[in-house]
Structure 1
């Protein structure tokens, strides 16, 4: 950063950062044991929540220069928000982090290549569902043609960093995108109608993880829901909001509010913890735009994770069964810390007959995925994953269940990294519950 950039960043910190929120931090330290980067850096205060808040306040006060070290500290943060539930002052750390990152990224000079990549991803790809599906179709071609086999046989992936090699191994088999394009917009329940819900399909969830979205729709129908899927919805904007592209996130939020607000539904259902938490925060994102505040609040109030809805509808009291296996659960940070959904997934998993549910130590500590964190902060991400796999091994589980696509890929990478692919699998909770429901149903028929 040059002197002019630093001055501009400091000026915007003074204008935009919520100083009252910065002062709310009492420096008590309750957040420290919950912060993965603080623990993994040998308890370095600069990589703790209260340390980062002190840096932000120092920049606002003019006591600290907004240099590369400040940026490094903020970039190292996972944004998992595990510090928020344990904070006695109720500091909204996630809001402070997003604002600080946006100020820095919008006011520093970005290298040309990085600038082009960000523009393509944030403006040209994620807000455009059809483009994202076309790109995902290329991955399907790679997987279904002989290209993937050739690449693996010739060991061409060796030129990639180790994390990227693991990622290539665990990417889901991409289904045909025509499945999403032909999908009905309104689907009737398979049993007596209990609720009318809208389904937020997401971006990567409706392309790379399309099969899980299809399972979600089916599960909602099994639970007695009429499902409405508006075709003008787009990406939630979480990646933008967390990566210093706040204005773009606002535009995407407005489009989603418009897509859902006149559907006359009981809830808007999500199946990705990260998406759900960001959708649930639209009222804060648009708090400075008076004409959108009320609409955003009405939208937020209808957001509900599928696990919460299933428990509300007593789905866990139905007959759910699977062959014997030991199951453990890895919390999605944003599902737990952002949506306060913690017990519902456990209730559902514990209700599956024929299996043993074992609680993992530190199940709610971040797995190190955190959006694209595992790609841009690889070393720290892998350290955090190593700790997570140590706790997973201790459960002796055959199955790791999670509720977010990033967590799912990260846990699959951990399984590969530890050489446990023949003993353990990772699965989204929706796919797991569909398996249990249909296994039990088929067993009753036979």
Structure 2
């Protein structure tokens, strides 16, 4: 990092960081036991929320330079925000982290290759759902054609890092693009009508996890909801916001707000914890834009996770849920728990399933290591966290691990594969399990 870059970063920190929020941290250390990277690095202060806030403040004050070590500390953060619920001062650590990463990203000198890669992902792929469908459709072809088996047999996957090679094995079956296109944009309720909901389908959720989205629609209908799927909705912007692309995230937020305003629904329903947490903070993202701030506030007041709405509508009391005898456990989506404050509702639903014995996992509220693209950009730390998570799973003796976020689901599937438990243990999204419990005779 050059002197000019450091000076530019320092200037931006002084002008843009929320200094009152930096001062809000009392250095009490309540966050330390909740921080995965602080624990996994052997209690290194620079890898704790308190330590990172101190570093941000020091850069803002001009006490230290924003060098590579500073950037590495921020990069190693999972962004799980487990520090926020335990903070007695209510420090919005996630907002500070996103702001700091945005400043670093804007002032970072990148190679042409990296620039092209970021542009391809953040500008040309995720904001365009039709391109997401095409990209995941290629994965579907790869799976259906038998190429996946050939690639593994000839050792092609050995060219990739171990975590990515293993992840390829646990990807869900992607449907044909024609199947995705055939789904209607409105579904009528079953039984007595309870509400009209607009379903945020997501980008990856509505392609790679299309089956889970269909399960979510089925649950909503059976709960008495008319389901509207706004046609013009886009990626939530979480990937952009967490990777220093806040302006692009704002653009996506505005388009989504417009799309869901047109639906005029009672609720906006999500089934992905990572998306939910970013959507619920659209009002913060757009707080400095008067023409959007109130519209964003109205948007977030309607937002609910599928599990929260099902419990509110007493779905578990009005529908029989049954599974063959098995032990199940639940892994929290960090963002669903720490930002959306939704953690009791999934457990209420799971405990209502006859035939299933629910066992709470120790540390279910701590990150599994997925954290968006974290397991790709920080594979060593991610796998270290995941392996420790699977040790906790082992103590529950669960046959089924349930979660509520696509990244967490893939990560837990990866953990099962790494622990050589394939066939004995499975990981499943809560919406898929509830539909399975409904259909089980």
Q: Indicate the residue corresponding to 2:7 in structure 1.
A: 7
Q: Indicate the residue corresponding to 1:210 in structure 2.
A: 210
* TM-aligned CA deviation for residue 262 of structure 1: 2.8
Task: Give 3-state SS (helix, strand or coil) of 1:262's partner.
Answer: helix
* TM-aligned CA deviation for residue 358 of structure 1: 0.2
* TM-aligned CA deviation for residue 182 of structure 1: 1.5
Q: Indicate the residue corresponding to 2:411 in structure 1.
A: 410
* TM-aligned CA deviation for residue 179 of structure 1: 2.4
Establish whether residue 327 from structure 1 lines up as the match of residue 339 from structure 2: no
Task: Give 3-state SS (helix, strand or coil) of 1:65's partner.
Answer: coil
Q: Indicate the residue corresponding to 1:31 in structure 2.
A: 31
* TM-aligned CA deviation for residue 46 of structure 1: 0.3
Whole-angstrom distance in 2 between the partners of 1:371 and 1:84: 18
Runs of 4+ in 1 over 6 A off after TM superposition: none
Whole-angstrom distance in 1 between the partners of 2:220 and 2:422: 30
* TM-aligned CA deviation for residue 185 of structure 1: 1.2
**Unaligned residue ranges in structure 1 (runs of 5+):** none
TM-score normalised by structure 1 residue count? 0.98
Task: Give 3-state SS (helix, strand or coil) of 1:20's partner.
Answer: helix
Q: Indicate the residue corresponding to 1:419 in structure 2.
A: 420
Query: How many residue pairs align between the two structures?
Result: 440
Whole-angstrom distance in 1 between the partners of 2:5 and 2:254: 30
Q: Indicate the residue corresponding to 1:434 in structure 2.
A: 435
Q: What does residue range 182-261 of structure 1 map to in structure 2 within 5 Å?
A: 182-261=182-261
* TM-aligned CA deviation for residue 324 of structure 1: 0.3
Task: Give 3-state SS (helix, strand or coil) of 1:42's partner.
Answer: coil
* TM-aligned CA deviation for residue 155 of structure 1: 2.3
**Unaligned residue ranges in structure 2 (runs of 5+):** none
Q: Indicate the residue corresponding to 2:82 in structure 1.
A: 82
Q: Indicate the residue corresponding to 1:298 in structure 2.
A: 298
Q: Indicate the residue corresponding to 2:383 in structure 1.
A: 382
* TM-aligned CA deviation for residue 146 of structure 1: 2.2
Q: Indicate the residue corresponding to 1:116 in structure 2.
A: 116
Q: Indicate the residue corresponding to 1:340 in structure 2.
A: 341
Whole-angstrom distance in 2 between the partners of 1:157 and 1:186: 41
Task: Give 3-state SS (helix, strand or coil) of 2:198's partner.
Answer: strand
Whole-angstrom distance in 2 between the partners of 1:252 and 1:417: 36
* TM-aligned CA deviation for residue 180 of structure 1: 2.4
Whole-angstrom distance in 2 between the partners of 1:246 and 1:403: 25
Q: Indicate the residue corresponding to 1:128 in structure 2.
A: 128
Deviates most, 178-187 or 426-435: 178-187
Whole-angstrom distance in 2 between the partners of 1:181 and 1:280: 28
Whole-angstrom distance in 2 between the partners of 1:264 and 1:18: 34
* TM-aligned CA deviation for residue 306 of structure 1: 0.2
Whole-angstrom distance in 1 between the partners of 2:44 and 2:103: 24
Q: Indicate the residue corresponding to 1:47 in structure 2.
A: 47
Whole-angstrom distance in 1 between the partners of 2:411 and 2:236: 21
* TM-aligned CA deviation for residue 183 of structure 1: 1.3
* TM-aligned CA deviation for residue 280 of structure 1: 0.3
Q: Indicate the residue corresponding to 2:369 in structure 1.
A: 368
Q: What does residue range 104-183 of structure 1 map to in structure 2 within 5 Å?
A: 104-183=104-183
Whole-angstrom distance in 1 between the partners of 2:366 and 2:162: 23
Q: Spell out, residue by residue over 1:339-396, the C-alpha distance to the aligned partner (whole angstroms, 9 max, x if none).
A: 0001000000000001100000000100000000000000000010011000000000
* TM-aligned CA deviation for residue 279 of structure 1: 0.3
Task: Give 3-state SS (helix, strand or coil) of 2:324's partner.
Answer: coil
Whole-angstrom distance in 2 between the partners of 1:187 and 1:146: 35
Q: CA RMSD in A?
A: 0.7
Task: Give 3-state SS (helix, strand or coil) of 1:110's partner.
Answer: coil
